[in-house]
Structure 1
Amino acid sequence: MIELRELTTIVELKEVQAIERQVWGMNNIPIHQTLTAVKNGGMMIGAYMEGKLVGFSYGFPGFKEGGVYLCSHMLGIDKEYRSQGIGEMLKRKQRDIAIAKGYDCIKWTFDPLETRNAYLNLTKLHGICYMYVENCYGDMQDGLNQGLPSDRFEVHWYLNSPHVTERKRVYTGNLTPLNTIMFDDRGLPAFKVGNVDNFFAEAYSLAVPKDFQRLKKESPERAIDWRIKTRKEFVRMFQKDYAAVSLEVADTHAKYIFVKKDTLKLGGTKR
């Protein structure tokens, strides 16, 4: 049984640091920073199993173009407790608390080639992406990010919008593919560019590797090729006012679905 609750004390915030070190293997966020954030509109949420902290999410207030939102900066799960839905539980609890505090939007970033994160953020939570940030955090040295530009999608989660609350699949029609995947004799994927030049379709798809960490480990050169080629396609889609709205996962790969942003039911939320 998972218990979810806000963490507000120095003792509780120190517990979080052990998971930070395990997940990212880098220096912890100082307690004085996280403590100040949670006292001033931010939130640290812990997931406990039998009294043990097994996961957390951390966010703080953001402000841009006259709008206030929650910037969800970190989410980490103890490696022994992954694939149990704890990440989704933490995000949904974060949404509930954010709404109670007066937020109507949460933003965060993730690597678009990490399909586990993409599936949670877009398909399950109904966040959307229409901003791409090249090398967002510079050269990162932790185990998950080392060796590649830290490109990121920025997720916008419009908490009270019909797009989120109705939880319906956004598009069920035909998709125009932006690329295809070819596999070598080792089963490693290669990006094959499509021939889409004009953007008139209702929806597009872009195929990506299902296990990018494996690809990085077995062929760093091909991983970089995927980063650069998908970067070009993602940026192109967003410049044409399409948004990434879901990720469909198959046995060997996954594919992003893009639709026109102005067709989404985002209500009166600030975009």
Structure 2
Amino acid sequence: MDDSNLIAKFEKLGARATIRPLIENRWRLAPGPIVIDIGHDRRGEFFDIQATEDADVTVIDVQPRERHLLLMVRQSAERANDPVRKDKFLCGHDERHWFVAGVPETAPVSNVITAKESLKPELVRDRESGKKGKRTKRLRRKTDTFVRQGEWFFLPAGNVRVNEKLLLRNEPISRGLGSKPHVCEFLYRDGGTTVYVCGRHPSGLDTQEYRKLLKKNPQASKWNWRVMRRDPVVFVRGKVSHPDHATLRLDGWHRVAMNTENQSRAMAAVAFLD
């Protein structure tokens, strides 16, 4: 890997990047030859890249004006006749901060624009299907189809019948894995699976797993659990706030959809959580 060339690519975005040897962490084993995080020091944020000496890392596309680049990491196949593994990462700036996101491997991604498109949830792509206009306009944070805050997309839902008894106020939504939640002033969930969430189980346990844990360890009942729902249809209105993003103000109900980065294999190599 050409460290100086890689650092120069990030500098084109106005970003700093450091490259250091990959550190083995017994709590989180590296899934490949590279781990990417957003570090902080006195000068601000920077891309903190840990990589093995033989890591095969290539910058496919750089868009200085948009402050984004697309990174690809090649790995040899684990078994003979298997294709070479290619993991892609979108690195860039969103509103106030730098970020890195794994790109789904199933998407045909060759540049920054197609990487951004691949991160859109299926619900958004379905609504955009057949619409005319420049693709770049569809990548803005606010379009006629959605409003985006970080990894969350909010789509106007028209008339939604809400059971007022189930209406939640100042309710967090999170993609799990320890990410900081986005807080919604008014939220309504329909359907989904009940899960129990706490600091030790940020992605949640279903009812059977939760009961099994309490039977094995009764003290676990004191772990400040929250009852939430996994994969429900979610609607929000009013303010949506997050410390790293400008507050949204949604008039009327909007359906919520998360981007597709959790579907990517590359996400396992991303230490950054917004």
Do both proteins adopt the same fold according to a TM-score greater than 0.5, normalized to the shorter chain?
Answer: no
The answer to which structure has the higher strand fraction is: 2
Compare relative contact order (CA 8 Å, sep 6+) and give the higher one, 1 or 2: 2
Which structure: greater helix fraction? 1
Return the TM-score normalized by structure 2: 0.29
